[in-house]
Structure 1
């Protein structure tokens, strides 16, 4: 390659680098504005809280409810209930526990949504405060009152 070829290639590479930098800068700015919107942040908090809540419900089911249910069924431990078919081990006891987990989580979400809907309905039902009188209305009221007093 000649010196002129290297010069053309370096100019071309520099041009591509600048275009790529501008594109990435714009991309990063768009991503920042997307990520910092309220809805995305609310969703992230919801996912984190939901994960923690799921662990609490799983502990409630595994450590409190299922032992009580097991005591009513003659001390059966649901986590160990399984059927062996050939080489497959079908753990229907774990499936039952997961169904109970799901039902409790769904019920709690239902109660939360019901509460939020009730609060938003109360806000809608509250009548709006009457608008404050304008300067003209205030002056006219004062004039009317003065005329009544004469």
Structure 2
């Protein structure tokens, strides 16, 4: 029963919901990035390199062996560096995108937490802390005069 109660508290606090929402958005974001790399960035890059398909680029260590009937008896062994390049490009795009999103969110958060900014409504806790800080500064100024 205690385990069930702890799970209920965990779920109600929002941690589980926040995590689930983050995972769902992350999966959808991954699909967007995948399409962005494969359908938007790679075709012009392939065109600039005279039709070179990066995903097909590989260094063959051992050729595939095919018998007389056309069946592959030994599989090809290759280092597929083209796939590595595309995956690295995916990572780079995700990193830059996340950086831009976090930077924008931090800018919005800073505006919301600035008690002197009247354009954006400041949360109550920040507002109260700002008033408390102003009172303490006023009190310190009075004490220094004495």
Q: What TM-score results when the alignment is normalised by the length of structure 1?
A: 0.65
Distance 1:121 1:52 in 2: 28
Which runs of no fewer than 5 residues in structure 1 stay unpaired? 1-24, 132-150
SS in 1 for 2:78: strand
Q: CA RMSD in A?
A: 1.9
Distance 1:35 1:85 in 2: 52
Q: Which residue of 1 aligns with 2:83?
A: 94
CA apart distance, 1:67: 1.1
Which runs of no fewer than 5 residues in structure 2 stay unpaired? 63-75, 117-126, 132-146
Counterpart selection for 2:104 from 99, 115, 137: 115
CA apart distance, 1:125: 2.1
The structure richer in helix per residue is 1
Counterpart selection for 1:58 from 31, 34, 59: 34
CA apart distance, 1:39: 2.8
Is 1:103 the counterpart of 2:92? The answer is: yes
Q: Which residue of 2 aligns with 1:45?
A: 21
1:6-64 per-position Cα deviation (integer Å, ceiling 9, x unaligned): xxxxxxxxxxxxxxxxxxx2211211211232233112101110111101110111112
Distance 1:37 1:91 in 2: 46
CA apart distance, 1:124: 2.3
Distance 2:99 2:12 in 1: 28
The structure whose Rg is larger is 1
